């Protein structure tokens, strides 16, 4: 089969990505829950007919979902191989974290695309539903010791058979959620996205034909593989090791090690996580498919120009033993998977920084801070507010880290305070940058944030599953670590903090009491005393640093009018270097 010419390939690349983008937009505009509609915690893509490999992803979807979805589609392919009976109009639904999923809140819909009676490819949708049962509203149960405490687990099942909806499955899903109407809206949004994707792909196939599109898929993957091999070959051969830690698993108050030995040999790379801590009692485990997906995300951050499809993983060998918490099996709890994959992404950044210091990026804030508040409305109906929160990104060789950004796992955005307030009886009384939270450096980290939320009803409960309460985001190339994560709440006995630092369940709030989340900044890049004094003064003028902190941390003297006293600064820095 001859590949299309370069112009046709460029046109098809844009058209195919647009299909995934339009599916994303359809779901964002129709979903009921703010985590999809506003935060965009979802994605769509096209996948290989026989292997499930990623063929096309959009530019807006959550990257970690894209990496995991290849395993999800393969799970459906394997089911069909056993059960048979695949037909046009079928749609599979599931959320199994151990079979191509991530955690129970993330529901996947997978649909076959037929052409002339033959399977051509698969399209798929994944979105974060706000509540699927379990002990904790919103699903992030920091005290879970098995999957049954995290929610209802659905294996791959045919939600739609030859175009006919199985409403018994919908009834089961509704009965296992505190907010069934929200989930029903999200489900229909995903189904509409699939319908649109199927229609758009059909139009493209009608124009170019199956052979041309299939040949383009092969060409895209071959190009991604060739580019990734070239980037790896440009790095020096050797083994580069890095490790970082999770605070604890929410059950046992001991740190968990995420360790990587990264080996470069010619145009091939091996990621060996064998030295990582064993499976843990609490919800910080992840499945093998999730671990591979987060490696995909990390490598795409470093090699940004490599196309995003399965070809970019062809030169990578993964060693992720079942003896580690990165390849957990049912019923190990996995609800806090986001915290673990962030640390895994961080150690890949750390190891690659040793191989290519010119690419070194300091650690981002490294926690989503999954915070849920819940209670009952006056009519007796349950309400659940769930959101993740921002922090600072790490400094780089070229720039400071981004203030109040999102984590490296996603392109998602934080839902606006107004949306969360409109949906639930809460009030944000503070949403601001956190002074002094950034790691110091020639290029400092970004600043974290402070969020304070007031309960507007009695009998409100709060739950947090976060990280970085004891192991701060690291700096590189002489930069310093950022601030620790901190959570506290008002009680009748004064302000309290979690014994586990970053995880707590069932905090009781009365009307008017508040929770307060102070997120980390990013680590710094390079020595602080090499920072441009004018940049230090700018941070002082913007109330991100105090004059005393500028003097103490950066050896910069800032005058009362916010300008640099250059003579005093040069003298102080000369004295410091001496």
User: What does the pLDDT look like over 147-161, one tens digit per residue?
Assistant: 999 999 999 999 999
> Is 281 a domain residue?
no
Q: What percent of the chain has pLDDT over 70?
A: 99
> Does residue 435 share a domain with residue 549?
no
Question: Residue 495 is part of which domain span?
Answer: 360-531
Single residue among 516, 531, 546 that ends a domain in this structure: 531
In angstroms, rounded to a whole number, what is the distance separating the alpha carbons of residues 196 and 26?
8
What is the enclosing helix (H) or strand (E) of 106?
A: strand 106-115
> Does residue 495 share a domain with residue 564?
no
pLDDT band at 171 (very low <50, low <70, confident <90, very high): very high
pLDDT band at 411 (very low <50, low <70, confident <90, very high): low
> Does residue 542 share a domain with residue 401?
no
In angstroms, rounded to a whole number, what is the distance separating the alpha carbons of residues 449 and 453?
13
> Is 288 a domain residue?
no
> Does residue 539 share a domain with residue 462?
no
> Does residue 17 share a domain with residue 166?
yes
Q: State yes or no: pLDDT of 532 exceeds 70.
A: yes
> Does residue 184 share a domain with residue 53?
yes
Q: State yes or no: pLDDT of 278 exceeds 70.
A: yes
> Does residue 177 share a domain with residue 82?
yes
Angle formed by the axes of helices 63-83 and 288-302, to 10°? 140
Q: State yes or no: pLDDT of 213 exceeds 90.
A: yes
Phi, psi (degrees; rounded to nearest 5) at 386:
-125, 140
Is 132 in a helix, a strand, or coil? coil
Interval 54-110: pLDDT, tens: 999 888 877 788 788 999 999 999 999 999 999 999 999 999 999 888 999 999 999
> Does residue 560 share a domain with residue 462?
no
Average pLDDT score over residue span 125-138: 95
> Does residue 60 share a domain with residue 71?
yes
So what's the pLDDT on residue 301?
A: 85
> Is 435 a domain residue?
yes
Average pLDDT score over residue span 187-207: 98
> Does residue 515 share a domain with residue 542?
no
Mean pLDDT, all residues of the chain: 95
> Is 355 a domain residue?
no
Using left for φ > 0, alpha for ψ between -120 and 50, and beta otherwise, residue 265 falls in beta
pTM value > 0.75: yes
> Is 285 a domain residue?
no
pLDDT band at 19 (very low <50, low <70, confident <90, very high): very high
So what's the pLDDT on residue 189?
A: 98
> Is 269 a domain residue?
no
Single residue among 164, 198, 224 that ends a domain in this structure: 224
Ranking 103-107, 355-359, 531-535, 569-573 by mean pLDDT, the lowest is 355-359
State the total domains in the chain: 3
Beta-carbon contacts of residue 107 (< 8 Å; ≥ 6 apart)? 93, 94, 95, 126, 127, 129, 132, 154, 186, 187, 190
Q: State yes or no: pLDDT of 410 exceeds 80.
A: no
Angle formed by the axes of helices 210-233 and 6-30, to 10°? 90
pLDDT band at 279 (very low <50, low <70, confident <90, very high): very high
> Does residue 149 share a domain with residue 66?
yes
> Is 271 a domain residue?
no
pLDDT band at 557 (very low <50, low <70, confident <90, very high): very high
So what's the pLDDT on residue 64?
A: 81
So what's the pLDDT on residue 255?
A: 98
pLDDT band at 113 (very low <50, low <70, confident <90, very high): very high
Q: State yes or no: pLDDT of 578 exceeds 70.
A: no
Q: State yes or no: pLDDT of 303 exceeds 70.
A: yes
So what's the pLDDT on residue 331?
A: 96
> Does residue 514 share a domain with residue 442?
yes
Average pLDDT score over residue span 316-322: 98
**Is residue 273 a contact partner of residue 258, using CB atoms and an 8 Å limit?**
yes
């Amino acid at each position: 089969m001859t590949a299309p010419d370069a112009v046709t390939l460029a046109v098809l690349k844009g058209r195919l990505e647009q299909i995934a983008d339009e599916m994303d937009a359809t779901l964002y505009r129709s979903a009921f829950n703010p985590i999809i509609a506003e935060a965009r915690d979802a994605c769509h893509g096209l996948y290989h007919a026989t292997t499930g490999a990623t063929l096309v992803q959009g530019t807006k979807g959550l990257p970690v979902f894209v990496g995991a979805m290849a395993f999800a589609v393969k799970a459906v392919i394997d089911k069909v191989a056993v059960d048979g009976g695949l037909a046009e109009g079928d749609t599979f639904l599931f959320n199994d974290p151990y079979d191509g999923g991530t955690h129970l809140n993330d529901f996947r819909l997978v649909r076959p695309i037929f052409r002339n009676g033959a399977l051509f490819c698969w399209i798929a949708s994944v979105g974060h539903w706000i509540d699927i049962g379990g002990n904790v509203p919103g699903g992030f149960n920091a005290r879970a010791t098995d999957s049954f405490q995290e929610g209802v687990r659905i294996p791959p099942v045919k939600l739609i058979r030859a175009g006919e909806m199985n409403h018994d499955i919908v009834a089961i899903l509704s009965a296992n959620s505190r907010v069934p109407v929200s989930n029903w809206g999200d489900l229909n949004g995903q189904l509409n996205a699939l319908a649109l994707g199927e229609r758009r792909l059909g139009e493209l196939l009608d124009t170019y034909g199956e052979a041309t599109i299939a040949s383009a898929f092969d060409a895209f993957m071959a190009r991604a593989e060739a580019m990734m091999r070239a980037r790896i070959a440009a790095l020096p051969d050797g083994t580069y090791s890095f490790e970082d830690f999770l605070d604890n698993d929410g059950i046992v108050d001991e740190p968990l090690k995420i360790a990587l030995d990264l080996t470069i040999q010619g145009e091939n790379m091996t990621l060996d996580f064998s030295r990582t801590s064993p499976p843990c009692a609490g919800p910080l485990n992840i499945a093998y498919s999730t671990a591979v997906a987060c490696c995909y995300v990390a490598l795409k951050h470093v090699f940004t120009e490599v196309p995003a499809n399965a070809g970019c993983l062809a030169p990578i060998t993964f060693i992720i033993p079942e003896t580690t918490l990165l390849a957990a099996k049912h019923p190990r709890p996995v609800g806090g998977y986001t915290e673990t994959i962030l640390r895994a992404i961080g150690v890949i950044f750390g190891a690659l920084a040793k191989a290519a210091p010119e690419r070194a990026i300091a650690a981002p804030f490294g926690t989503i801070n999954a915070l849920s508040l819940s209670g009952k409305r006056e009519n007796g109906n349950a309400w659940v507010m769930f959101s993740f929160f921002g922090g600072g990104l790490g400094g780089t060789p070229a720039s400071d880290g981004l203030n109040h950004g999102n984590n490296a796992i996603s392109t998602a955005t934080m839902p606006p305070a107004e949306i969360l307030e409109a949906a639930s009886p809460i009030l944000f009384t503070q949403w601001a940058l956190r002074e002094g939270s950034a790691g110091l450096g020639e290029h400092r980290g970004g600043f974290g944030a402070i969020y304070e939320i007031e309960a507007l009803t009695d009998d409100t409960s709060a739950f947090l599953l976060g990280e970085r309460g004891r192991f701060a985001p690291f700096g590189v190339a002489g930069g310093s670590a950022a601030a620790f994560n901190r959570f506290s709440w008002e009680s009748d006995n004064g302000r309290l903090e979690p014994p586990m630092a970053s995880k707590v369940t069932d905090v009781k709030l009365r009307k008017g009491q508040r929770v307060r989340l102070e997120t980390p900044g990013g680590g710094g890049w390079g020595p602080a005393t090499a920072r441009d004094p004018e940049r230090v003064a700018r941070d002082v003028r913007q109330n991100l640093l105090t004059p005393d902190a500028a003097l103490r941390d950066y050896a910069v003297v800032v005058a009362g009018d916010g300008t640099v006293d250059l003579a005093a600064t040069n003298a102080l820095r000369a004295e410091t270097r001496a």
